[in-house]
Homo-oligomer: A and B are copies of this chain.
Amino acid sequence: MGSTFHKLRDDIENGILTGDFAPGARLDETQLAERFGVSRTPIREALMQLSAIGLIEFRPRRGALVADHGPKYVFEMFEVMAELEGMAGASAARRHTPEDKTQLLNAHLRCQEAAANEDTDAYYYENEAFHHVIYAASQNSFLSEQCAFLHRRLRPYRRLQLRVHNRMKASFDEHKQIIEKILAGDAPAARESLLAHVKIQGDRFSDLIASLEKIKAKATQGP
């Protein structure tokens, strides 16, 4: 097999994204090397890549820490994500091909199935696929890459939300609006739909944090 450092990078990245390596945690190179059965060299190269995309931070002579940008930063990421998704939606409305149309409809159908079965895990997966189809339909490969990257980066924060309330049904209804606007070629409407669709996740994340802070405050204040 060819170079293994892609796999290593993805494994560590996945560990971070799934919370296996918590924000602020130190990433000991020797430990990682043992854990993955390789020497420190490829581990370091993987860590360097992760530091370049902001997932970890190198403190000089003190090793790598999992980036711990507080909730404000995460909310900012949602804001940017919303804007980029809106742009992708507008671009897709203007430039989608017939193949894109069938892809969109298929992805939407699979979301519908998952929603009907109330299978949040399946919906989670199909929702991701749905959004990726929109990215591709924008016909802007750089935008598509940026969206995919941010989408991935925000995955752990989105994951928290699908189960609460009945976000899944609401999400699906929003998808329906989005797909209509895109296929109708209504770029401004598609942009607004997607903007709102993503922004609501940032808002919910903020709400979640706010309530957690409140609980924490009570706990430290109380008996």
Contacts and interface: CB of A to CB of B under 8 A. Distances in A.
Contact of A53 (B53, B61, B142): B53
Interface stretch (A72-80, A112-120, A179-187): A72-80
- Sorted nearest first, the 3 A-B pairs with minimum C-beta distance are A2-B60, A52-B52, A49-B52
A143 B58 contact: no
Contacts of A134: none
Number of this chain's copies in the assembly equals 2
Interface stretch (A40-48, A100-108, A168-176, A212-220): A40-48
Nearest to A50: B52
A54 to B, nearest CB: 8
Given A69-B142, A79-B143, 7 more contacts: A2-B61, A48-B52, A50-B52, A76-B141, A80-B84, A80-B146, A83-B84
Contacts of A2: 60-61
Interface in A60-90: 60-61, 69, 73, 76-77, 79-80, 83-84, 87
Given A52-B49, A52-B52, A73-B141, A83 B80 contact: no
7 contacts: A2-B61, A3-B58, A3-B61, A48-B49, A54-B145, A69-B142, A80-B84
A29 B48 CA distance: 16
Nearest to A82: B87
Contact of A48 (B48, B80, B87, B142): B48
Contacts of A14: none
Nearest to A83: B87
A140 B79 contact: yes
Contacts of A79: 140, 142-143
B3 A76 contact: no
Contact of A87 (B5, B52, B80): B80
A51 interface: yes
A80 B142 contact: yes
A73 B142 CA distance: 6
Nearest to A149: B54
